[in-house]
Structure 1
Amino acid sequence: MTRTPLIAGNWKMHKTVDQAEQFVQGLLPRVSTADGVDVALCVPFTALAAMVDSTRGSRVEVYAQNMHWAEQGAYTGEVSAAMLVELDVHGVVLGHSERREHFGETDRALAVKVPAALASGLKVILCVGETEGERERGDTQRKLRYQIQEGLERVPTEQLGEIVIAYEPIWAIGTGLVATVEQAQDAVAFCRALVADRSSEQAERTRILYGGSMKPDNAAELLAEPDVDGGLIGGASLDPETFSAIVSAAA
């Protein structure tokens, strides 16, 4: 089965609305001919409405970086799936390593968030990955197994293939360490095997992204691996020229 590559730029806590609109003006002409590639921008809450309007009719989809599992309630500072859907947001990133590290995001919470997002019609990118200590202890597969099994626990089998999984080698992000192409492929293939434990058919549909500092100079090599279906791009997504170069590598 041929899976359409997805290149998703995660802006994290960067860009005001004005800066975001300037970025899109520079990006859209550069990706207009990138046929056969899905492109997404995961932007701060404050820029969602503007980005939906600015990208409407283009190949670029707009994702939020988090959401709450409840439809509404006394959850100060949170945003529901319905609020995102009302803005015509296409999807949401859940379980990013920075959400886990700095804000106490748990796998049990994700087990509720993921199906809530799906039920609302949002696309989901579920992030998983191991720390340097976990890799050194040989716990990579144990950690990935737990995260994926928990995150997908309440997703109906027939919908598993709709979830995009992003593998983040946390130990290789901002540490000076570099994950090899072989390490990336091995981890991503293991993630696919975990989905196959429930359904081999859905595993073939599942797109799995690499989230370990993909850049223009290594994108083509990583994307050539059989189980790497795209990238969740951090710093390299903040410049339209750099980001579009990665999109071109996937085309």
Structure 2
Amino acid sequence: MHVCWWSPRCRLQQAPVYDGMCQREGQPGELCLRVYGRLEWSQVWYVVLVDCSLKCQNEGTLDNAACKCACAGGYRGRDCSKPPCTTECVNGKVSQENCACECNEGWTGPTCACNLKCQNGGTLDQAKCRCACAGGYRGAACSLPPCTTPCINGKVNQENCACECSEGWSGPKCDCSLKCANVGSLDKDSCTCTCAGGYRGADCTQPPCKTECINGKVSQKNCACECTKGWYGPKCGELVGGFF
């Protein structure tokens, strides 16, 4: 239906049906139906009745008066030619205009499955339901404070604030470059080697001591004997005072 503006040339033909012909300048007459207004010529408004040629597809039914299709089976569009929407909206409903989700309050994302709220100036990527945090804040919702861990030779892992050391470095602050030789094991916290097989030195590169200590033990630092009380000598074989 189309609006036919009032015109002093409009003339009523058969009351009370109020059908008439509305003549416009330079245009042919159109069949009109009065919808409201008074009967004075300058106050009457008309609506053009147009023969409806709309064809409803996919078992849609036509409302001839409104020239509108009532679609069936989820089909859409003016003539029911558009296929049904298959979008899954977890917390919302599907718009029949474009098959996009219209989310319930508090939900967002392509399927209305995201209710994440980004804190501390973070911005939400609705498609991925993920926050891009600002100012060093961390966590799924940017609620965790920035990391303050000093990583001397590496970078900070924003998940747990631990250091991820560059190649060749280790330790809580990535400040240890010690390598333990000869199957020695490194204590990263203290940056010290625990040597195996008698090897010695800070990096376990010094060979095992072969010193024989009769009454004492061998110092792993210099392979010298550390004598038991009362004994002395290179091998701790001499008694203090000269008596057994």
TM-score normalized with structure 1 length: 0.14
Normalized per residue, which structure has more helix?
1
- Relative CO higher for 1 or 2, CA cutoff 8 Å, sep ≥ 6? 1
Larger radius of gyration: 2
Q: TM-score, normalised by structure 2?
A: 0.15
